[in-house]
Amino acid sequence: MSVKELMVDKSALLQGFSRHVEKGDIVGNVLIHRALLSQLERDAREGLISGEIALDEIDKLKEFSEKYLFSLQVVGNAG
């Protein structure tokens, strides 16, 4: 059986991607592009709530990766 890799985008994070992981609807390793992470951090520093929400969602995914034993990886270049 091959392991699926899922690249999440900002909209998936804002819509609560981790809920689907927790319910078992989504199975596989989760990838987050480094450029997206940089943008979210910049947005949060500038006071944009969407940046904070997405970063909180990434934190949930980190917790779930340990609980449900999948990989959460940051990939690619920052820009």
**Per-residue tokens: 52:** 């904070």
Beta sheet of 72-75, edge-to-edge order: 5-8, 29-33, 72-75
* Domain ranges (residues) in the chain: 5-75
Second-level CATH architecture of 5-75: 3-Layer(aba) Sandwich (3.40)
Assigned token pair, 9 = 């985008």
The residues with which 72 forms a beta bridge, in sequence order, are: 30
Q: What distance in Å separates the CA atoms of residue 55 and residue 14, rounded to the nearest whole number?
A: 9
pLDDT (tens place) for every residue of the chain, 79 residues total: 456 999 999 999 999 999 999 998 888 899 999 999 999 999 999 999 999 999 999 999 999 999 999 999 999 987 6
Rounded to 5 degrees, what are φ and ψ at 17?
A: -50, -40
pTM exceeds 0.75, yes or no:
yes
